[in-house]
Amino acid sequence: MEFQDYIKETIAPETIHLELERGYPFYRKLSPALKDRFTQRTAHFIEQKKFVARQHLLLTDTIRIIVSACAIQVTFGLEKYILQSFEYIIIYPDVYESPITKQMHKGETNLNGFICLSWKYILEGIEKPDDNYNLGLHEWTHALRFNSIRFEETDYFFDGYINKWVACAYHEFSTLKNGKPSIFRKYGATNIHEFLSVTVEHFFESPDEFREKARDLFIQLCILLNQEPVKESSTRINVRNLYLETNNEIMEEALAPVLVFEASFGRTLLNLKWHVLRVLFVLIILLPNQNLFSNIVSFVIILSAVIYMNGKYFTIKFFENSIYLQSGFVRALSRKLSINYHSLIKLEIYDSNLDLTDGKAFQLNYYNGEKFIKKTAYCSAIDVPRERIVEFLTRKNVLILFPD
């Protein structure tokens, strides 16, 4: 979508610094090094955006700086912060009637590539720093999430970890949605996107209360946004590794597993029926020819079949602190992996007929400390106790899906 009469002019970091020192409390509390990071990012952000004034608003540098600073505050700990999906920033002086919904709005984040904001309520959110309502933070959080949904260039970690946050947020979101007492305002119960924006407002304006009343969710936001705000002092950035446990040791736990999906040798033979028949057919042809060549070929075929079977199906064990995978039946040839639940983002379980086999596929999405990895394990188990798995993994803040 295109807009006319926009402003796209650079503003020097020195000018941004003076403006933020005068009128942006979050910035004033930052250390000198972080102030320099903030002003540089804000200047770069402004360079990339087209600002559009509505209803005869005089679009000053102050407005452009403060509106942009709200976006930089939300993304301050992230690697990517330009939010490329949103090229246009439309500023109204007060509430306005949306041409799309025909309702009065204070702000609106539109997937068509623009964000609308009321300057009056942007200022009100900044001037009342402890009411847990901040229009700028709220709408730019939507923009951060929607930027990812549109598959634009986005922050790699935020995009990969958001499902972990969703899983952790389930309890608090359900509490709010069911009308039970919560520290978060009721608007957050609208949907999970609104809940994310509402929690981000609370995260910055009442971090001490947030940490005390909903510690797990607070820590998940620290990880997701890679910063930790403190009410009376500078926010801390690059805190992710302080909270994220990613030590996935390749070992079984000493305690008995809570759930086990064991690969069965007999079941695997049945599931690999077409592969087995092909192997038998070739062997029937080769074995009557008792010579060195046919024996070598037969041995290679049998060995290949065993290795294929060994790697095809997994033993999957759910322990109290981690999920354990072991491929195959021959322990010496097996591969093992343990993933703790702090690192496990999402688990999908669905029917599998890969290569004409039957069983269940377990697709795990986890973070190994450097990158997000997808691992698919196939198991000959047919019956999966869904309710038990959902109840267990929900407690572990892991998103569980059954796509079928």
CB within 8 Å of 306: residues ≥ 6 apart:
330
Residue where the block lists tokens 């509505």: 54
Residue 236's nearest CA partner among 222, 216, 256, 255 is: 222
The beta-strand segments (E) located in 282-341 are 314-318, 322-327, 336-340
pTM (2 d.p.): 0.86
pLDDT for residue 356 = 44
Confidence of residue 120 (pLDDT cuts 50, 70, 90): very high
- pLDDT of residue 275 exceeding 70, the answer is no
Q: pLDDT tens digits, residue range 128-143?
A: 988 999 999 999 999 9
The domains found in the chain, sorted by start residue, are 6-243 (1.10.472.150), 259-401 (2.30.29)
pLDDT at residue 157 greater than cutoff 90: yes
CA-CA distances (angstroms) from residue 30 to 21, 87, 130, 174?
10, 28, 18, 35
On whether the CB atoms of residues 84 and 110 are closer than 8 A, the answer is no
